[in-house]
Amino acid sequence: MGDQLANAAGYFAGAVALLGTVWKILMDRGRRSDPALHHGYACGALIGAGMAVSAPATGPALAALLPDPSHLTLVADQLKVTASGALAMMAYSTRPAAAARRAVRRQTALTAVTVLLGVALFLAASPVRRGAEVGVDAAGRPVLAAYVTLFALHTAWCLAVFGFLIGRCARCLPRGVLRLGLRLMALSALAGLLWTADTLHDLANILATGHENGAESRVSALAGAVCVTLGFAGATASGWADWAGRVRAWHDHRRLGPLWSAMRTALPEIELAAQTGLFGDAGGPLRRDIQFALYRRIIEIRDGQLALRPHLHPEVRHWVAEAVGPAEAEELAAVVEAAAIAAALEAARAGHRFAGHPGEGCVPHPVAAGIHEEAAWLVRVAAAYTGSPAVAHVRARVRDELGRAALRH
């Protein structure tokens, strides 16, 4: 069960890293000259490859392809060392240009020395691979322990640098998607430190028995999966936030549908000139146009409210108050606005105009400027229009009143 979990976590982390890197490259069209992005791409590709290579199910199969099966552990470890170096370089790129260049050069040298020294120590230890384990004789134990210590120290240093610099950037930003993304990336560094801490278990085994598990353990694979997932969630935050915004806009667009349809049926002139691919019988608004479609629907509803002003009944607020009773102010305002629209639509269909000015309750409720706030408010109005008993009560009273007026004439 442990190996199966480690396999799943390792492959999941590898897939997230590799696919996330590809998606990030596609997202960054027009910005790929930024050195920080280059380091990020390298980190994602290297860590994804390292996780896939070191998964328990992959190890034995790939090890058989190498002249010395034990070298698979070396390859996986050095992929991770290089990935952590690229991670630190990405964080250094957030500093002023001159300082960033110096820091990146120092980190490049440090990572290169770590890789070369690590390869030398591993080969000097002369490990032998048996299944997923790597073993050395008594003389090789301190050498292999030094190799693992070097790997852990370099990785921990890079993660600490990344977490500190990215966390500092996040603190300087206002609330928003970018700040959230950077905080997720900083949290990924903490998860990475837990991932690296699992090497202490390997170190203890080497010193005690001369054996190291060459594949990811269950704890290590899970920590790695959390680290990679948080990192790429943060790095791609602007992308998934954009998709979340589109989903929200699509949902709001649909929820406004009944109110908009009722107003368009009574007042077809409120519908703006259609654009090819935006509205139609074959599927509605296209995905990338959904924000504009929502904005357009809001405008048409507001235009409809303006067109309905001569038909607004002055007693709507009083009728709603009678039907609803005590209620929270905004909830009552949404019901009043919905009832005013329903009553005005009934009057417009009957061709009836009310004398004088509309009542106070017929004035649309003021909302904060912004399409999201406007949509959220009109969604509440639309829900009241279709589902509020008070709106149905007002609609029935207006119909009755208009019916009696028609009989008198």
pLDDT at 203 over 90: no
192 contacts 159 by C-beta, under 8 angstroms: yes
Angle at 286 between CA 281 and CA 290, to 5 degrees: 115
Choose one of 212, 235, 258: the last residue of a domain.
Answer: 235
What's the one-letter identity of residue 346? E
Mean pLDDT of the chain: 82
Same domain, residue pair 296 and 346:
yes
Q: Are residues 138 and 263 in the same domain?
A: no
**pLDDT score recorded for residue 361:** 47
| Same domain membership, residue 315 and residue 204 | no
Tokens matching residue 42? 């390298």
Q: Same domain for 230 and 248?
A: no
Q: Read off the pLDDT of residues 206-257 as tens digits, 9 standing for 90 and up.
A: 888 887 765 566 777 777 788 888 888 888 887 777 788 888 999 999 999 9
Per-residue pLDDT band for 294 (boundaries 50, 70, 90) equals very high
* pLDDT of residue 354 exceeding 90: no
- Could you count the other beta carbons within 10 Å of the beta carbon of residue 347? 22
Among residues 182, 207, 235, which one ends one of the domains? 235
254 and 175, same structural domain? no
Please tell me whether residues 324 and 363 are part of one structural domain. Answer: yes
Q: Is the pLDDT of residue 285 over 60?
A: no
Asked if 7 and 148 sit in the same domain, the reply is: yes
pLDDT for residue 286: 45
pLDDT > 70? residue 364: no
Mean pLDDT of 164-176: 88
pLDDT at position 277 over 50: no
Which two structure tokens, joined as six digits, stand for 145? 């322990």
Q: CA-CA distance, 56 to 54, in Å (whole number)? A: 6
pLDDT at 112: 96
Residue 354 contacts residue 277 (beta carbons within 8 Å): no
Intra-chain end-to-end CA distance of the chain, in Å: 84
Whether residue 175 is found in the same domain as residue 280: no
**H/E stretch holding 135:** strand 133-135
DSSP assignment, residue 370? S
Alpha carbon of 265 to those of 180, 198, 280, 382: distances in Å?
A: 44, 66, 16, 15
Distances (CA, A) of 84 to 41, 116, 154, 195: 12, 15, 8, 12
Share of the chain above pLDDT 90, in %: 27
Q: What is the CATH number of the domain that holds 216?
A: 1.20.1070
Question: Last residue of a domain, which of 189, 207, 235?
Answer: 235
Distance in angstroms (rounded) separating the CA atoms of residues 233 and 243: 13
Q: What are the phi and psi torsion angles at 134 (to 5°)?
A: -120, 130
Q: What is the mean pLDDT of residues 276-294?
A: 58
Task: Give yes or no: residues 40 and 95 share one domain.
Answer: yes
* Residue 220 in tokens: 């290590």
Give me the half-sphere count of Cα atoms (radius 13 Å) on the Cβ side of residue 19: 8
Residues 114, 256 share a domain: no
Do 74 and 111 belong to one domain? yes
Domain count, the chain: 2
Domain that holds residue 118: 2-235
Give the integer Cα–Cα distance in Å for 84 and 92.
12
For residue 149, give every residue at least 6 positions away whose Cβ sits within 8 Å of its Cβ, in sequence order, or none: 203
Q: What is the pLDDT of residue 222?
A: 78
52 — pLDDT class (breaks 50, 70, 90): confident
23 plus 163 within the same structural domain: yes
Task: Reply yes or no on whether the pLDDT at 406 is more than 70.
Answer: no
d(CA 224, CA 233) in angstroms, rounded, equals 14
